[in-house]
Each structure stands twice: as C-alpha cells, then as structure tokens.
Amino acid sequence: MADYIEAKKSRLKYYQKIPLYYQTKERKLVLYKPAGKTIEEVRLEKEQVPGKLYIKQEDKIKGIKEIQKVFNIRLSEDIRSNNPGKVKETLVNIVQETLAEPRSGSLEGVSETVNILISEYTKDSDVIKNLLIVSKQDYSTVIHSINVMAIVLGYANFIDCSLYEKKILGLSALLHDVGKTKIDTALLTAPRKLTDEEFNEIKQHTIRGYEILSKCNFGYKEIALTALQHHEKLDGSGYPYGITNLEKTAQIVGFIDCYEALTNDDRPYRNAMSPLKTLKLIKQDVESDKFSRNLFETFAYSLL
C-alpha cells in the first residue's frame, strides 16, 4: 500500500497516460483503468465504480504533468475568452497541483504556463492585470505566488523588456516562495507575532527554495537565485545571508513581493493597505537604501 497514493476525485477525469487502481476487500490493489484510457471510457465498460482510486507512487510526477497539460490548454482558452475569474481559477489549479510535489519534473510544467501568460499578454487585453481584482479569498502561498507573478508581468510589460526577460521574471516570481512548501503550514499561517526561533525557521524557505529549484532544468539560473535572494536587501539588512550584491531579477521580485504582501489582506491581525499608502511605506526602505530608487520610481509609474 505504501507504493500507492489516493487520487484526488476532482483530478480523475484528467488522467489518461497513467493507470488507476482500486482496493479489494482483501486490501489488494487491482488495476481499474489501464494506461491510455480515460476514466469515462472505463466507466462505460465496467459496472462498478470504486469509491476510492489510487495511483502508483512512481506515476505521481507523470500524473502531475498530465494535469498541468490539461490546465495549460484551459488557461489559453480562459485568457482568450477574456475571463479573469476563470484564468485565476485555472492558475490556482495549476500552481496547487505543482506545489503539492515541488521537485524537478513537476516544477518545469509551469514554464509552459508562464509562456502562455506572456504570449497572451497583449497591450489591449488586461486579463492578467484583472487577475488581481478577482476575489482573494483563501489567501495562501498559491494565491500570493500568482499575485506576485501578475504584478511582476505587469511591470515587465511596462518596462518593455524582451520576451526572454519576461519569461525569467514571470517564472522567478511564480516560484519565489516554493521553499514555503517545506515549512510547517501552522507557522506560515499563525495569527500572531512569531518568536525569534519561529521566524528563523520561516527564513529557511529561501534556502530550501534554492535547493529545490537548482535541481530543476529551467535553463535559467535566475529562478533559483531569486528564491534564495528575494528577502535580501541592498543595504545588507535582509536574509538569509545579508548580502548586498543582488541579482536584478531577485531585486524586482523581492520588491514586488513586499508590495503584494502589504496590499493584500493576508493576516488576520492586520488589514490590507492601499497602493498609495504601501508605496509611501516602502519609500522609507528606499530612503535607507534597502531597495533600488530607480526600481521604486519605475514601479510607481507602472501603476498609473
């Protein structure tokens, strides 16, 4: 049984390449849906539909890839039909699925997701901008990552950088907090001020993210470096290492990460701030040389 995991009901219809199994009364696992068929096809042939279906542990990454593929196609359709609500929903599905198993093989699937977002992000369609207006209930690392990516892509569009740079920026933003999947959720969502020890544990998400992403085959070193450096500050007051020589992508994502966290109502003990108030607050960090002044000014213009 240790080699099998229960398949999520909502995902069953998307599996084609990977086989599904059910458990008999004797607790034996038997093939239900063979590879190459959909569950609908099998359902028509067989009378009984088992309450629970399982996938083999070794098929897990293959299964995630199948789901990413289906949702990536849906994402293109959602964007074309100009429906920000649907786009967000599909993105949440993709990112949730990916972050459930954040390692090489599954993480690369969001590369296509960012490709789609960039290629569909034309000047006349503001569906990605509108992503941020869509309901923000159930705030989590998933929503935060999507929000940061949407703001970063908006900024990238404003500064008119190359497609190549947009791709690196979008992916780095979407995956900057992937290390949080290795931190206790209770700590991440604690509705109180954390102790020094607890905060030190949370700080580790930068290093863990770097470790996860350096094993992936994206082909850009900036993605792992952004995970590592997005909480570093130019004056050396950041973490985990207090370095001052920061990758440009990490500076942009780190700055927008800070902006997004302040403008969103993510913690029960404080309220979201308006963009203007947030900019005023961040400006203090610009005065003390934590963030680049040039970046701050360009970003402020991009919001107009």
Q: Between residues 86 and 182, which has the closer beta carbon with respect to Fe ion?
A: 182
Write out the two tokens for 33. Answer: 């849906």
Residue 301 CB partners (closer than 8 Å, separation 6+): 158
Where along the sequence are the contacts to Fe ion (CB under 5 A)? Answer: 177, 257
**CA distances (Å), origin 59, targets 7, 17, 62, 158, 204:** 11, 9, 5, 41, 30
Min dist. Cβ of residue 79 to Fe ion (A): 24
DSSP state of 134: S
* 3-state secondary structure (DSSP) of residue 297: helix
Min dist. Cβ of residue 282 to Fe ion (A): 15
Q: Between residues 78 and 257, which has the closer beta carbon with respect to Fe ion?
A: 257
DSSP-assigned beta bridge partners for residue 31:
21
Q: Between residues 113 and 145, which has the closer beta carbon with respect to Fe ion?
A: 145
CA distance 166 to 222: 12
Min dist. Cβ of residue 193 to Fe ion (A): 18
Number of residues that make up the chain = 304
DSSP characters over 28-47: -EEEEE-TTS-HHHHHHH-S
Min dist. Cβ of residue 146 to Fe ion (A): 11
Residue 298 CB partners (closer than 8 Å, separation 6+): 155, 158, 159
Min dist. Cβ of residue 225 to Fe ion (A): 14
CB 147 within 8 A of CB 92: no
Residue 90: which of 66, 106, 67 has the closest Cα? Answer: 67
Q: Between residues 66 and 177, which has the closer beta carbon with respect to Fe ion?
A: 177
CA distance 245 to 166: 22
Min dist. Cβ of residue 176 to Fe ion (A): 6
Min dist. Cβ of residue 161 to Fe ion (A): 21
Q: Between residues 116 and 183, which has the closer beta carbon with respect to Fe ion?
A: 183
Q: Between residues 97 and 232, which has the closer beta carbon with respect to Fe ion?
A: 232
Q: Between residues 123 and 193, which has the closer beta carbon with respect to Fe ion?
A: 193
Q: Between residues 97 and 177, which has the closer beta carbon with respect to Fe ion?
A: 177
Min dist. Cβ of residue 205 to Fe ion (A): 6
Task: Provide the residue type at 6 as one letter.
Answer: E
DSSP characters over 222-265: HHHHHHHHTT--TTS--SSS--S---HHHHHHHHHHHHHHHHS-
